[in-house]
Structure 1
Amino acid sequence: MANGVSDRTLVNQLTNSPATRLILFRGIEPSKQGYILLKLSTRMQRDLLHKLNDDEILNFLNPLDPDKATDILQEIQEPRSKKITERLNDYVREKVEFLLKFNPKAAAGLMHLNYLIIKRDMRIPAILEEVGDYENKTGKFPTILVVEERKLLGELPGSTLALRKTNEITDKQIKRIASIRYDSEVTKVINSFVKNPHNKVVVMDENDNILGLIHSNEILGLIDKHMTRDLYGFAGVASEESVLDSPMTKVHYRYKWLIINLGTAFLAASVVGLFEDTISKFTLLAVYMPIVAGMGGNAGTQALAVAVRGLVMKEVELKTSRKLVINEMIAGGVNGVINGIIVAFIAVVFNQSPALGFVLGMAMIINLINAGFFGALVPMIMKSLGKDPASSATIFITTATDVIGFFVFLGLASIIL
């Protein structure tokens, strides 16, 4: 079935056909199954791995790179994953058991082992011999890392071996390469690639021994996952949800947050109910209410996006978050003045009501300051509670801007108008 079919087509077929997914997957040649599996969502991976037997899993794990095999095994529960690991071929098993020792959510969880360590004083013919042995064993050309007295000096590019003029390694041939500790958080790894673009980084232990390598393509995939998770989090959608999930699966992932949203909507409605008499006397208030609330919600989401990015990129921490909150409140106040003047002008010109214009302008200023406060504060609170700072924060921020926005707008109207 898979002969001549592109990987993207296979992934689309598996994603779009939940009823026949297992049959389709079994029709793919084992040498491709592992790579195709890793392109599927985490939930689909777990579903297929649960339904496949151990022999079928072994058939596609053995041809995989050890780091990829490790990624798959981490989606299988114990003790089954341990039994499968013990049956892997010797080379893959040794590497997998080494990789499984590390936290999958730290830098070591992203590394691969396709590298070769050589000493600074080795001659190029000897290096070529070692590279050849490595290629014969793994079928891959390794990244060549140069050390001197156990200290990492850098990388020796493969082109140097092909274009060599002497049999000695020169300092100019050794290219500097970045390094990071094995227990560094994933966000720190991402940050290192974003701030100092490079195509690979060496993972070191606490004694500066080389453990593995992380390539930039791994980071690009990770950034994409983080962006998807954050985007879903803003909307109150589980990151495990797939575009083509069944309707009932989508309901399962979404209904809890929607019920919470319903409760917060009633809270905002109850505030409006307190000023029923005021609204009945000045019906124009109902026209401008969505503007005050909507502007607050949008400003809050902007502050939220900045705060979440700051947390992810380690630009802000909980202990230094006060400055962020104050800055967002000031920015909200200035934007409130700008937009407040505009909406007040509209109310004066079109509704011939300077008093209404004043109420609208003041409500806009106060609500945008409020939006900056909650937009920056809510992700900090969620982070301090050990929760994803992007996870459905918009629900709470929108509630705050709606409730306070309505209360200030209608409260001022009841006093002034």
Structure 2
Amino acid sequence: MDRKKLRSLIQKINFSPQQRTELFLELTLHEQALIARNLAKHILKSILRALSDEKLIEFVEYIESDEAVDYIQLLSPKSQKKIVDLLRDDLKQTITHLLSFDPQTAAGLMNLDYIQVSPDANVEDVAKKFKLHERRTGKSPSIIVSDNDRLVGHLPGHELGFMNKSEKIKKYIKHIPYVRYNASHDEVIDVFHTNPHSKIVVLGENKNILGIIYTDDVLHILEEDESASLYDFAGISDEEAVTDSFRKKVNFRYKWLIINLGTAFLASSVVQLFNDTIAKNVLLAVYMPIVAGMGGNSATQTLAVLVRGISQNQIDLKSSLSTLRNELMSGFINGVINGAIVASVVMIVNRNLLVAMILGIAMVTNLVVASFFGTVIPLIMKQIGKDPASSATIFITTATDVLGFFVFLGLAAILL
């Protein structure tokens, strides 16, 4: 299916809540599998839960076993048991095995499309085992070489055709990376980063081979993480979709907006302390949004870099001193550059040296403050077990607004 048709079908399903299941059933199994990978989780859940047992089993038996596990977990516990019991025996065993693991670990990503062979096996025996798996599952397996269930390496499947049938596979074994079954998704991604490979092996508690993870499984996780980070950054639920009704959208967003409203009142209370100063110098009110806006933008830049560094285990609270120093220096220099620009504009347009100087100093101070809080707060949030992407933003914005207004208006009260 070409991308244009795929996109059109996804949009049709997304924007037709009453006909979603009917539209899904009109597709071939291959098209259903493609569409399912690209639907929002709550939309796919509504479709799967509306399917008859017969159609659901037909779909589950067609797709990859690891995907089948993900989709079965979207069903109610009662339906999960019912559907698994109705699957063909070999798939039932596979699905039951995979469902026993935590979905947030490496074991939750693995599938069982592999065969295990001994390093002393000959090419003919391996080829027979390979074809048997293909006939049984309809999928080409990876060839994992093990000795007493201990990982030795892997044999690239395409090389089988170039070997003599009686030849031992021992000299053709290649290295393959591995990960523990209870490793986090981030650890799995790190293994792929440090060992460029199309797959990694998942090992159990006793270093026995449990399964295999392919790059497309990790790409799927990365896409989900990117979406989740974007939603967290905006302060909305990762369950919200563009097709949701206005009631759902209000329900997902109102709490975060009320919290932001509370912090806005805090910033406005600082401004209220300097009512007399603003009344005497109306020009200050014109440039106040610049101070707040630049501080917020600078803090967001710092926060984005820190959140990415934290997610990739590049930094933590203990090793943050060098990063903090660099961010503060960056904030200071950017503050000087932008402060000089805004002061020049004030001099040219308003011809007011004192306001220009005050605004320039406030700009430098606020960008340094933004760099400090943009670095420290996400690290503290991570240290206490909170998500820095979603929980740090509100504190950083409050700090830059409150301190930015206080410095700007405080200097004005003293000097004007």
TM over 0.5: yes
Q: How many residues align?
A: 414
Displacement of 1:52 = 3.1
Give, in angstroms, the shift of residue 172 of structure 1.
Answer: 5.6
CA-to-partner distance for each residue in 1:55-109, whole Å, 9 max, x for gaps? 4322322223221211111112323312222222111110011111111011111
Verify the 8 A CA contact 1:299 1:372 in the aligned structure 2: yes
| 1:82 corresponds to | 81
Q: Distance in 2 between matches of 1:216 and 1:143?
A: 13
Give unmatched runs, 5+ long, in structure 2: none
The Cα of 1:218 is off from its aligned counterpart by 1.6
In the other structure, the counterpart of 1:253 is 252
Deviation at residue 34 of structure 1 after TM alignment: 5.0
Distance in 1 (alpha carbons) for counterparts of 2:285 and 2:203: 62
Q: Structure 1 residues 198, 86: closer, same or farther in 2, change over 3 A?
A: same
Aligned to 1:390: 389
- Correspondence for 1:289: 288
Structure 1 residue aligned with 2:180: 181
Superposition map of 1:270-349 within 5 A: 270-321=269-320, 323-349=322-348
Q: Secondary structure at the match of 1:135?
A: helix
> 1:396 is matched by which residue type in structure 2?
F
Give distance in 1, aligned partners of 2:170 and 2:338. Answer: 61
Quick one: structure 1 residues 170 and 95, their matched pair in 2 at CA, closer, same or farther if it must change by over 3 Å? closer
* C-alpha separation in 2, matches of 1:92 and 1:36: 22
Unaligned runs of 5+ in 1: none
**Residue 124 of structure 1 contacts residue 161 of structure 1 at CA under 8 Å; is this kept in 2?**
yes
* Secondary structure in structure 2 of the residue aligned to 1:212: strand
* Equivalent residue, structure 2, for 1:373: 372
Instruction: Choose 219-228 or 401-410, whichever is displaced more.
Output: 219-228
Instruction: Report if the CA contact (8 A) 1:299-1:368 is conserved.
Output: yes
Local SS of the residue matching 2:143 = strand
**Cα distance, 1:149 vs. partner?**
4.6
- The aligned residue for residue 363 of structure 1 is 362
In the aligned structure 1, how far is the partner of 2:386 from the partner of 2:60? 34
Q: Contact between 1:359 and 1:412, CA under 8 Å: does it hold in 2?
A: yes
1:11-67 CA-to-partner distances (Å, cap 9, x unmatched) read 332112112112222333456545533431111122223333434322322223221
Aligned residue in 2 for 1:401: 400
SS at match of 2:221: helix
Is 1:215 aligned to residue 207 of structure 2? Answer: no
1:52 paired residue number: 51
Cα distance in 2 for residues equivalent to 1:242 and 1:383: 27
Q: Deviations over 1:242-268 (max 9, x none)?
A: 122223322222222122222222222
The answer to whether residue 119 in structure 2 is matched with residue 120 in structure 1 is: yes
Amino acid at match of 1:84: I
Q: Following the alignment from structure 1 to structure 2, what is the Cα–Cα distance between the partners of residues 194 and 285?
A: 51
The CA distance in 1 between the partners of 2:286 and 2:5, in whole Å, is 55
The answer (yes or no) to whether the contact 2:144–2:151 under 8 Å persists in 1 is yes
Distance 1:334 1:133, change over 3 A: same
Alpha-carbon distance in structure 2 between the residues aligned to 1:117 and 1:379 = 45
8 Å Cα contact 2:121-2:169 kept in structure 1:
no
Mean Cα deviation higher: 250-259 or 316-325: 316-325
1:115 Cα deviation after fit? 0.6
Q: Secondary structure at the match of 2:77?
A: coil
Q: Is the 8 A contact 1:328 1:376 kept in 2?
A: yes
Are the counterparts in 2 of residues 235 and 392 from structure 1 also a CA contact under 8 Å?
A: no
- The change in CA–CA distance for 1:126 and 1:83 in structure 2 (over 3 A counts) is same
Over residues 355-383 of structure 1, what are the superposed CA-to-partner deviations in whole Å (9 max), with x where a residue is unaligned?
22321222112211211122123323433
Question: CA–CA distance in 2 between the matches of 1:401 and 1:127?
Answer: 65
Kept in 2, the 8 Å contact 1:38–1:72? The answer is no
**Deviation per CA, 1:163-202, whole angstroms, max 9, x where unpaired?**
2257324666322211111111111212222344322111
Matched residue of 2:388: which SS? Answer: coil
Identity %, equivalent residues: 46
Cα distance change on mapping 1:273 and 1:195 into 2, 3 Å? farther
Q: Write the deviation string for residues 338-370 of structure 1: whole angstroms up to 9, x where unpaired.
A: 322333343344433332232122211221121
Q: TM-score, normalised by structure 1?
A: 0.91
Aligned partners of 1:300 and 1:371 also within 8 Å: yes
Distance across 2 between alignment mates of 1:398 and 1:136: 59
Question: What is aligned with 1:132?
Answer: 131
Residues 266 and 198 of structure 1: CA distance in aligned 2, closer, same or farther (over 3 Å): same
Deviations 1:108-132 (A, max 9, x none): 1111110111111111011111111
- Aligned mates of 1:279, 1:138 — CA distance in 2: 76
Are the counterparts in 2 of residues 155 and 175 from structure 1 also a CA contact under 8 Å? yes
Contact kept, 8 Å, 1:347 with 1:357, in 2: the verdict is yes
In structure 1, distance between residues paired with 2:165 and 2:174: 17
Give 1:70's aligned amino acid.
V
Task: Tell whether 2:217 aligns with 1:224.
Answer: no
User: 1:66 — aligned with what?
Assistant: 65
| Partner residue, 2:202 | 203
Is contact 2:332-2:364 (8 Å) kept? yes
The 5 Å alignment of 1:150-169 reads: 150-165=149-164, 167-169=166-168
Query: Partners in 2 of 1:294 and 1:6 — Cα distance?
Result: 42
Matched position secondary structure for 1:390: helix
